[in-house]
Each structure stands twice: as structure tokens, then as C-alpha cells.
Amino acid sequence: MHRRGLFRDFVRAALVALSGLTIATLVANHPFLSVRGAVLVTVVMVGAAIGTAASGAMRLGGRGLGLKWFVLGLLAGLAVVLA
């Protein structure tokens, strides 16, 4: 049971990494992409990664005390970044 779950998570992570690397390679080698366009694509990709990580953390945190710890960690990290 656990091995199937681990294998499924491994395959999912490998596919996400492969698709991200493929998109990054295509964007980096695009002849008509300006520096500003590359920065914009990078910002969008990083934002998507942060959103995905946050939704996964919220799902794993659950409700109640786990969600409170997640929000506390998020706010503490935000305070460190803004300080």
C-alpha cells in the first residue's frame, strides 16, 4: 500500500519536474522572447510553484490545529521576508 503511494508520488513529481524543465528550455531558447518577457514567464512560474506548494501544505495540514500552525508559519515567513 505504501509503496504504491510512494511510487505514485515519485512519478507525479518526476512528471511535474520534467514538464517544468521542458517549458524552461523552450522559453530560454525562444528567439523572439525579450529579457522582460523571460522575467515575466519566470515570475509566473514561481508564482504557480508557490501556489501549488501552499495548496499542498494546506491540504496536508488539514483543519484545526494543523491549519493554525500552517498560517502561523506562513505569517512568520512573511514577517522575516519583509523585515
pLDDT in tens, 1-26: 577 877 888 888 888 888 888 887 87
Identity of the amino acid at 47: G
Quote the pLDDT of residue 59.
73
Quick one: 54 and 81 in the same domain? yes
Of 41, 12, 47, 11, nearest to 28 by C-alpha is 41
* 83 pLDDT higher than 80: no
* 31 pLDDT higher than 80: no
Quick one: 2 and 29 in the same domain? yes
CA 22 to chain centre: 16
Quick one: 70 and 43 in the same domain? yes
Q: Which whole number is the average pLDDT over 54-71? A: 77
Q: For residues 18-50, b (16+ Cβ closer than 10 Å) or e, as one string?
A: eeeeeeeeeeeeeeeeeeeeeeebeeeeeeeee
Domain that holds residue 78: 34-83
Distance CA 34, CA 23 (A): 16
